[in-house]
Each structure stands twice: as structure tokens, then as C-alpha cells.
């Protein structure tokens, strides 16, 4: 159990650093929508779908890579915070709806596609 927690912790730190680098890089060029979060979430969902589709039932890979790295890479809390920020004070419904749909539908479809591609 301790070994698993250490693997998750190390992987989570790596994933969070990757997320910060990618998000900060893309968000400096595109300011209308927080595309950095969109990119890391879609990328993470593709990778989660890929690994799940390959049916790798190796405990340390699941702990370190899926729960740790990819869990640290993808982020629901940042997405939620960005959506709250888009609602106030100058709410623009069209970008809000587009971003929300891209995040949720895009994440699901990318994970689904990768899973079935590698199954």
C-alpha cells in the first residue's frame, strides 16, 4: 500500500508539472478561452483510453501512470474554476457553451475513441 501511494504521489507531481507547462504555454497565445486546460484534458483522456484499451493490468503502471501522471495531468477542478470565471462578471454565453461542450464531449469522445482503437 505504501509503495502504491508513493507511485501515485510521484506520478501526480509529474503530471501536475506537465499540465502547468502545457497550460501556461498555450494560454499565453490564446486568451479568449483557456485552451491549455482543454488540451491537457483531451490529451490525458486519449492516453487514459489508450492504456485502458490495451488492458494493462500491471498495478504499478496503473498507479503511477493512470492515477498518478494522467490524474495529475487532467484536471476537473481547474476546469470548474475556469467555467466559474467565465460566468462572471461579463458573461458571454457562446464561448462558455462552446468551451463546456469541447471539454466534456471532447474528453469523452477522445477517451472512447482511444479505448476502442487499442482494445
Alpha-carbon gap, residue 88 to 96, rounded angstroms? 11
Question: Which residues belong to the annotated binding site for Na(+)?
Answer: 71, 74
Instruction: Name the band, by pLDDT with cuts 50, 70 and 90, for residue 78.
Output: confident
Is residue 31's pLDDT more than 80? Answer: no
Query: What pLDDT does 70 receive?
Result: 92
Buried b (16+ CB within 10 A) or exposed e, 49-78: bbbbbeeeeeeebbbbbbbbbbbbbbbeeb
Task: At 93, list the grid cell.
Answer: 454565453
Q: Is it the case that residue 55 has pLDDT exceeding 80? A: no
Residue 25's pLDDT is 95
Read off the pLDDT of each residue in 75-92 and give the average, rounded to a whole number. 87
Point out the annotated binding site.
71, 74
Amino acid at each position: 500500500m505504501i509503495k502504491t501511494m508513493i507511485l501515485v504521489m510521484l506520478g501526480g507531481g509529474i503530471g501536475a508539472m506537465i499540465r502547468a507547462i502545457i497550460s501556461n504555454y498555450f494560454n499565453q497565445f490564446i486568451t479568449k478561452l483557456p485552451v491549455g486546460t482543454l488540451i491537457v484534458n483531451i490529451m490525458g483522456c486519449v492516453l487514459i483510453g489508450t492504456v485502458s484499451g490495451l488492458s494493462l493490468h500491471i498495478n504499478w503502471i496503473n498507479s503511477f501512470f493512470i492515477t498518478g501522471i494522467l490524474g495529475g495531468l487532467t484536471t476537473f477542478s481547474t476546469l470548474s474554476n475556469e467555467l466559474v470565471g467565465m460566468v462572471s462578471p461579463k458573461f458571454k454565453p457562446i464561448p462558455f457553451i462552446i468551451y463546456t461542450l469541447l471539454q466534456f464531449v471532447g474528453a469523452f469522445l477522445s477517451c472512447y475513441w482511444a479505448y476502442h482503437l487499442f482494445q
